[in-house]
Amino acid sequence: MIRRNNKKMTFDCHMHTPLCGHAHGDPVEYVRAAHEKGIDLITFTCHTPMADSAFGTQKTRMTEQDLPRYKEMVSKAREFGADLGVSVLFGIEAEVSADLRAMDTMDEVLDRWEFDFVLGSLHHQLPAYRTTLAQRNLRNDAAIIGDYFSTLTTAAATGRYDSFAHPDLIRIYGTVEPFDPRQYETVIREFLASAAEHGICIEVNTSGWTKGVFEVHPAPIILSWAAESGTDLTIGSDSHKPESVGQFFDRAYDLVAQAGFESICYFEAGMKKRVSLTDMVFTAGEKAG
């Protein structure tokens, strides 16, 4: 897929399927929505199966038995997209956890299915993370926020993930009180530096504008620190319904440019592809890491 003209190339690399139990619409409908909004490439990233129910079961994620169906749905969407000029990639939203046994089991799934793109999410609102916090007696907000970002810092070195979804998710969903990221600049910058060092991206997640503190993930100040650190970006709407595909992308591009970025990336077969924000020249085949 090499673009030889200067046509703008846009992509949305975070969306779900009904298999997770809390998203709506056939993948084909997401493709149609992308086409209507002029988006050239989308990546499905439904929630990965997790054997341990502490990561949520019903209405949180598909089971391992659903994976063949997931692949089939994405393949059908890809065929549909081919006629409309929308490329469709096969990704997954994986979990980030300090629970090494859970990570080992998840890795078997990730290895077996050869996803184009692996997002890493620390869903702190799930019982798995809340339990680890209690076990380690991390009870005040400062300790929890520090732990959240240092868990991501460690995860960046594993090579398991291509990008971290909604990297400041800890700002919403009530595990801690709302906070100003500037209070945690050191630990957040350590995470961004670790991601940059290992060639792992962070995601600009536009669903932040629809919930919580109604701000993009990550917050604009974190985006500017990421630009200073040389951390690359991916972008995703985190759509759980077709209408959300590409939501608020214009606003996101403006913020990303203001923060000092010159490009946004997507992944195909685990390879990082960079698209320039300014002239939209497409560079194929840049190696991740």
* Interface ranges with Zn ion (CB under 5 A): 93, 238
CB of 280 to Zn ion, least distance (A): 26
Nearer to Zn ion, 3 or 160 (CB): 160
Q: How far is C-alpha 40 from the geometric centre of its chain's CA atoms?
A: 18
Torsional sign, CA 97, 114, 15, 18: negative
Distance CA 189, CA 195 (A): 10
The answer to whether the bond into 178 is cis (omega within 30° of 0) is no
Nearer to Zn ion, 232 or 238 (CB): 238
Q: How far is CA 27 from CA 42, 79, 240, 267, in A?
A: 10, 11, 10, 19
> Are 105 and 94 spatial neighbours (Cβ–Cβ below 8 Å)?
no
Q: How far is CA 68 from CA 72, 116, 152, in A?
A: 6, 16, 29
CB of 123 to Zn ion, least distance (A): 9
CB of 237 to Zn ion, least distance (A): 9
Distance CA 203, CA 167 (A): 7
Nearer to Zn ion, 125 or 283 (CB): 125
Nearer to Zn ion, 126 or 223 (CB): 126
Nearer to Zn ion, 46 or 187 (CB): 46
CB of 240 to Zn ion, least distance (A): 6
CB of 255 to Zn ion, least distance (A): 20
Strands of the sheet with 11-12, listed across from one edge: 11-12, 41-47, 87-95, 117-121, 163-164, 201-205, 233-236
CB of 47 to Zn ion, least distance (A): 6
Distance CA 224, CA 65 (A): 41
Nearer to Zn ion, 93 or 168 (CB): 93
- The residue number whose beta carbon is nearest to Zn ion equals 238
Structure tokens belonging to residue 208: 């932040």
Amino acid at 253: Y
